[in-house]
Amino acid sequence: MRCKAVQRGMTLVELLLGLAITAVLMVPLGAMFQNASSGAAAVQNALGLNGELRFAIDRIARRAPTASILSDASGVVLQPGVAPAPALTYAISGTDLVETENATTTSLLGAIVTTLLPSPPRVSVIASNAIAFKLSAPASASQPLLKIDLTLRAPDGTTVSASRTIRIGSPS
């Protein structure tokens, strides 16, 4: 009596059947992973845009009360500070929100007031992808207010807007 050899491994038919089942299961998973990846990229862009928007508005809100003059592209909005403080101008240049600080340094030496030559303006880009910006001074009975409106647009077309109203100066 002869003994049959023990089969080792898979036959070609079993291997092809296994590959076909794997392919049928993996095709939908690939599409799902691709959709999840593009969704994650869109969320990441939106989060970055929101962070940039918050940074720009926080910076303007922090610097505005100490400025001598605040202006945007439409002209002077408020004059909250005193002369030695910097004059701040905000404008959209291309797609960047740019802050320009024009400073003149004034110092008191005894009874003599000396005004030094104005230093060159300092220009800072505080937000990219800006499409709309406005400073306004809403009427207030108790204290001067400054309203900051900013809109940013991502390259994929996502738009975020924010507005903040802050108090400037002392009560009148």
Q: Among 5-9, 15-19, 134-138, 148-152, name the one with the lowest average pLDDT.
A: 5-9
170 band by pLDDT with thresholds 50, 70 and 90:
low
Strands 112-115 and 106-109: antiparallel
63 band by pLDDT with thresholds 50, 70 and 90:
confident
Q: What is the pLDDT of residues 150-159, one digit of tens each?
A: 999 988 888 9
Q: Residue 115: pLDDT above 70?
A: no
96 band by pLDDT with thresholds 50, 70 and 90:
very high
What is the 3-state secondary structure of the chain?
Answer: CCCCCCCCCCCHHHHHHHHHHHHHHHHHHHHHHHHHHHHHHHHHHHHHHHHHHHHHHHHHHHHHHHCCEEEECCEEEECCCCCCCCEEEEEEECCEEEEEEECCCEEEECCEEEECCCCCCEEEEEECCEEEEEEECCCCCCCCEEEEEEEEECCCCCEEEEEEEEECCCCC
Q: What is the pLDDT of residues 39-55, one digit of tens each?
A: 998 888 889 999 999 99
Residue predicted with more confidence, 125 or 75: 125
111 band by pLDDT with thresholds 50, 70 and 90:
very low
Distance CA 66, CA 86 (A): 8
Q: Residue 22: pLDDT above 60?
A: yes
For Cα atoms 120, 131, 46, give the angle at the middle one, nearest 5 degrees.
110
